[in-house]
Amino acid sequence: MAEDKGGPKATFIVVSYVAGARGALKVGEQIQSPSEQNARIRAEKLMATEKVLGVDVVKQVADPEAGDYAEPEYLVRLGRFPEFG
C-alpha cells in the first residue's frame, strides 16, 4: 500500500443544479472525481439528463494538515447556475 504524502492536494467536485421552489436553482448531486478529465466527463453526462439545469466543475486545493485551503476554482460552468455575491 502506498504511503500518503502530506502537502497540498487537488480535489475535483462536480456540482449539479436542479429546479427548486419558484424556479430558483438549488444544489443537486455533488460528486467527487479523481481527476479533472473525469469531472468534465461527468459534468457533460449530467447535463445530458433532463433533471439537471446546470453544472459546475470545481477544483479545490487544500492541505488539511497545515490548515491551508485555496479559493475554489471554477473550471467548467455549463447551463444555468446560481449567481453568488
Alpha helix (H) residue ranges in 1-85: 36-47
Residue 4 confidence (pLDDT): 56
pTM for the complete prediction? 0.83
Query: From the CB of residue 16, how many other CB atoms can be counted at a distance below 10 Å?
Result: 25
The structural domains of the chain, with segments of one domain joined by +, span: 11-79
pLDDT class of 1 with cuts at 50, 70, 90: very low
Each residue of 58-85: pLDDT tens digit? 999 998 888 899 999 999 999 998 876 5
Percentage of the chain lying above the pLDDT 90 cut: 72
Asked if 44 and 38 count as a contact pair (C-beta separation under 8 A), the reply is no
